[in-house]
């Protein structure tokens, strides 16, 4: 067993991102638990001692789903982020990038503007997040180790793609969806369990096809795909230039279950190729399933934090959640500026070593998953945790038990931490690691 995470992609070994229903956080849930009134938080989890008012607000945002439900793996720390909507906060770097991209697509074809959605609820049925996008039933992205489930059939969207089929079905031809997405993942400066994505979809109307000398009924599949692909690439290259200026770019073949063909766009940034987005021609089976016959179209999805970190020189993904004035005062609406770190406080490292299964459990029966440890650490340390990494692992030659040692780096972005404070956090981490993960400390 290894704590090394697969690369982020939709290929067999890896993970997927998301979609959701075309409903806002405030709309009445079209799906939801039958009785949502009698299930108050029992307070058995960390940090769940909030006031009744907070509790009721949170439950609204979660559409009445109950964190104490045994099918639920959403922690209070994660639940507290739902509804924050960093992408809607004026002057926030994520908002600025969103606006630049929306402007770009609105003027891409002035007579055919993109409809922009930015307040669709992140609470979506698995059907929309996975099935409707042709993500196979056994795909790893569906596992509870990778995805936040409120109930077995309801998740916090893992990508904005979760809204594709709902909007396509409603008949819209061009749309953008921006929103918060959720993935259980490793902890370091570029990974955070909540981040923001932007999705774009363009379907070609009969008239647009006619102008290009094509027809939905008479042109071959290959001709329609070629047409959509050329438009996709030209449009996205223009978008990358709107963000980065005149950069070198390249297209890399990718795999997504919901597009065919699929690509990633990379740009050369400070000497290194950087993945900017995933995209492709909307899969013909999806187009048919949403009742649009053979209408061709394309889709893309990008991560706003990754773009903002590069464009604004923001060194740590936790900073987007900072409430520090020294962070926010540096930004102006609509402007890309370089961030000046206001201080760098010293990190503090603490190691935790354990056998991945209890002494009486066969090593092969161990269900330890590093994402479970990351969750415990995040729940205890919050944004004081900068990074968690596996620094040693071995198999005991006699017992066959697996030992892991993880190093936790604690560092505040706003102040110095005291030894007592860190020791108390680490002690809590050790306690909960045993309680929740069933491992044996060494």
Partner from Mg ion, ligand FA5, none contacting 300, C-beta within 5 to 8 A by type: ligand FA5
Kindly state the smallest distance separating residue 77's Cβ from ligand FA5, in Å.
16
Residues of this chain that interact with Mg ion (CB under 5 A) are 8-9, 278
Partner from ligand FA5, Mg ion, none contacting 197, C-beta within 5 to 8 A by type: ligand FA5
C-beta of residue 356 within 8 angstroms of C-beta of residue 362: no
Kindly state the smallest distance separating residue 44's Cβ from ligand FA5, in Å.
28
SS3 for 371?
Answer: helix
SS3 for 430?
Answer: helix
Q: Which residue is nearest to ligand FA5 (CB)?
A: 17
C-beta of residue 27 within 8 angstroms of C-beta of residue 121: yes
Nearer to Mg ion, 120 or 302 (CB): 302
Phi, psi angle pair for 79, to nearest 5°: -60, -35
User: E strands along 72-216, which residues?
Assistant: 115-117, 123-125, 149-151, 154-156, 174-182, 194-203
Among positions 75, 197, 219, 426, the unique one binding ligand FA5 when judged by CB under 6 A = 197
Question: Which 154-173 residues touch ligand FA5, going by CB under 6 A?
Answer: 159, 161
* Binding of residue 281 to ligand FA5 (CB under 6 A): no
Partner from Mg ion, ligand FA5, none contacting 229, C-beta within 5 to 8 A by type: none
C-beta of residue 164 within 8 angstroms of C-beta of residue 56: no
What number of residues does the chain have? 442
SS3 for 46?
Answer: coil
* Binding of residue 388 to ligand FA5 (CB under 6 A): no
Among positions 235, 303, 370, 381, the unique one binding ligand FA5 when judged by CB under 6 A = 303
Nearer to ligand FA5, 18 or 412 (CB): 18
Nearer to ligand FA5, 275 or 414 (CB): 275
Burial label, 259 (beta-carbon count in 10 A; 0-12, 13-18, 19+):
buried
* Binding of residue 191 to ligand FA5 (CB under 6 A): yes
Q: Which two tokens stand for residue 29?
A: 């849930």
* Binding of residue 305 to ligand FA5 (CB under 6 A): yes
Question: Which 4-43 residues touch ligand FA5, going by CB under 6 A?
Answer: 8-9, 16-18
Q: Which two tokens stand for residue 42?
A: 């029992």
Calpha distance 325→407 (Å, rounded): 31
Kindly state the smallest distance separating residue 82's Cβ from ligand FA5, in Å.
17
Nearer to ligand FA5, 29 or 280 (CB): 280
- Of the CA atoms within 13 Å of residue 272, those in its CB half-sphere come to 4
Calpha distance 155→174 (Å, rounded): 26
Kindly state the smallest distance separating residue 422's Cβ from ligand FA5, in Å.
26
User: E strands along 291-427, which residues?
Assistant: 297-303, 348-355, 385-395, 402-410
Kindly state the smallest distance separating residue 262's Cβ from ligand FA5, in Å.
6
Calpha distance 219→236 (Å, rounded): 25
Closest CA to 82 of 94, 65, 68: 65
Partner from Mg ion, ligand FA5, none contacting 159, C-beta within 5 to 8 A by type: ligand FA5
Question: Which 234-263 residues touch ligand FA5, going by CB under 6 A?
Answer: 256, 259
Stretch that binds ligand FA5, among 120-128, 273-281, 326-334, 335-343 (CB under 6 A): 273-281
Calpha distance 104→101 (Å, rounded): 5
Kindly state the smallest distance separating residue 211's Cβ from ligand FA5, in Å.
25
Nearer to Mg ion, 9 or 295 (CB): 9
C-beta of residue 9 within 8 angstroms of C-beta of residue 106: no
SS3 for 431?
Answer: helix
Nearer to ligand FA5, 133 or 402 (CB): 133
* Residues engaged in binding ligand FA5 (CB under 6 A): 8-9, 16-18, 159, 161, 183, 185, 191-192, 195, 197, 199, 256, 259, 275, 277-280, 299-303, 305-306
């Amino acid at each position: 067993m290894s704590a090394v995470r697969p690369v982020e992609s939709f290929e067999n070994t890896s993970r997927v991102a998301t979609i959701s229903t075309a409903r806002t956080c405030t709309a009445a849930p079209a799906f939801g638990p039958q009785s949502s009134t009698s299930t108050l938080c029992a307070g058995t989890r960390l940090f769940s001692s909030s006031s009744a008012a907070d509790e009721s607000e949170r439950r609204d945002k979660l559409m009445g789903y109950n964190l104490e439900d045994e099918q639920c793996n959403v922690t209070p720390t994660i639940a507290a982020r739902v509804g924050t909507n960093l992408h809607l906060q004026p002057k926030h770097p994520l908002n600025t990038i969103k606006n630049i991209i929306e402007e770009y697509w609105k003027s891409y074809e002035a007579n055919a503007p993109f409809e922009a959605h930015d307040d669709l609820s992140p609470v979506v049925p698995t059907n929309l997040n996975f099935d409707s996008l042709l993500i196979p039933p056994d795909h790893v992205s569906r596992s509870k180790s990778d995805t936040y489930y409120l109930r077995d059939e309801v998740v916090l969207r893992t990508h904005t793609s979760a809204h594709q089929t709902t909007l396509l079905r409603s008949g819209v031809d061009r749309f953008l969806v921006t929103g918060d997405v959720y993935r259980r993942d490793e902890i370091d400066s570029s990974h955070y369990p909540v981040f923001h994505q932007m999705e774009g979809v363009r379907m070609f109307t009969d008239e647009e096809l006619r102008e290009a000398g094509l027809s939905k009924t008479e042109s071959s599949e290959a001709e329609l795909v070629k047409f959509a692909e050329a438009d996709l690439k030209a449009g996205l290259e223009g978008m990358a230039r709107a963000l980065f200026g005149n950069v070198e770019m390249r297209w890399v073949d990718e795999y997504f279950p919901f597009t065919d063909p699929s690509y990633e766009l990379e740009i050369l940034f400070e000497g290194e190729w950087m993945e900017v987005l995933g995209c492709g021609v909307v899969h013909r089976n999806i187009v048919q399933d949403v009742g649009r016959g053979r209408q061709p179209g394309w889709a893309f999805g990008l991560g706003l934090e990754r773009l903002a970190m590069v464009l604004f020189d923001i060194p740590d993904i936790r900073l987007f959640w900072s409430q520090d004035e020294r962070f926010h005062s540096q930004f102006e609406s609509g402007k890309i500026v370089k961030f000046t770190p206001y201080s760098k406080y010293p990190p503090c490292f603490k190691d935790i070593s354990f056998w991945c299964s209890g002494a009486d459990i066969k090593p092969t029966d161990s269900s330890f998953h590093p994402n479970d440890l990351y969750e415990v650490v995040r729940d205890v340390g919050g944004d004081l945790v900068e990074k968690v990494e596996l620094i040693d692992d071995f198999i005991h030659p006699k017992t066959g038990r697996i030992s892991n040692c993880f190093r936790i780096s604690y560092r505040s972005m706003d102040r110095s931490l005291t030894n007592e404070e860190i020791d108390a956090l680490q002690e809590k981490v050790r306690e909960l690691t045993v309680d929740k993960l069933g491992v044996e400390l060494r």
